[in-house]
Amino acid sequence: MSSNSRNASPDDDRDVRSMFDRKYLESWQLGDRDVVVRISRVVAGELRSQKPREDGKKTVRKPIVYFERCSVPFVCNRTNQKIISSVLGSTKVRDWIGQSIALYATECEVGGEMKPCIRVRPKRPAAGRHSDPPPAFNPAPAEEVATERDAVDVERAIAEMPVGNGGGNVL
């Protein structure tokens, strides 16, 4: 028996990345399969810009999407917003609440480099199909249902975002 086996702990099978504090969902947490999630709320969020901005601002606005049974929200870029709006047939937040989408991990070109990212499948998942989230997905109690003040038009929120964002940020 090796010394590693003698000192085994419950954390030994966990991905070491799961031991860091995280504020938002990351692509590696999805594993190598689609994860079907139900949207519980969407809010406009201020995030630190990943690249220098012409207007000097250090933040960008993006929709932050919360899911049932997930402890960290998803930062929704323009590409994913357009796919969700198309799949769900609406840009209204109130129409997104309670609806299911399928997320998957892939790679996207950002600044000439391929980077890990999360994408939304461009079709609605089969009714009643919800994935058991991978262990790294960090399941948590369902988020509260969005309030009336959360029910804003996603397109309007995006239109109010500073120019030059480009929607290419990845998680």
The phi, psi pair for 35, rounded to 5°, reads -120, 115
List the 59-67 sheet strands across, edge first. Answer: 74-75, 59-67, 35-48, 100-110, 113-120
More confident residue, 64 or 139: 64
Task: Show the DSSP H helices in 49-117 as ranges.
Answer: 78-88, 93-96
What pLDDT, in 10s, does the model give residues 15-35? 555 555 567 888 888 888 899
**Which pTM does this prediction carry?**
0.67
CA distances from 104 to 21, 78, 80, 148 (A): 22, 16, 11, 30
What pLDDT, in 10s, does the model give residues 33-56? 899 999 999 999 988 877 777 887
Which residue, among 70, 76, 79, has the nearest Cα to 131 in the 3D structure? 70
CA distances from 168 to 45, 91, 110, 150 (A): 16, 20, 6, 25
7 and 56 in contact (C-beta within 8 Å)?
no
Which residue, among 26, 114, 121, has the nearest Cα to 71 in the 3D structure? 26
Which pLDDT score, from 0 to 100, does residue 155 have? 45
What pLDDT, in 10s, does the model give residues 140-168? 433 333 333 333 444 444 444 444 433 33
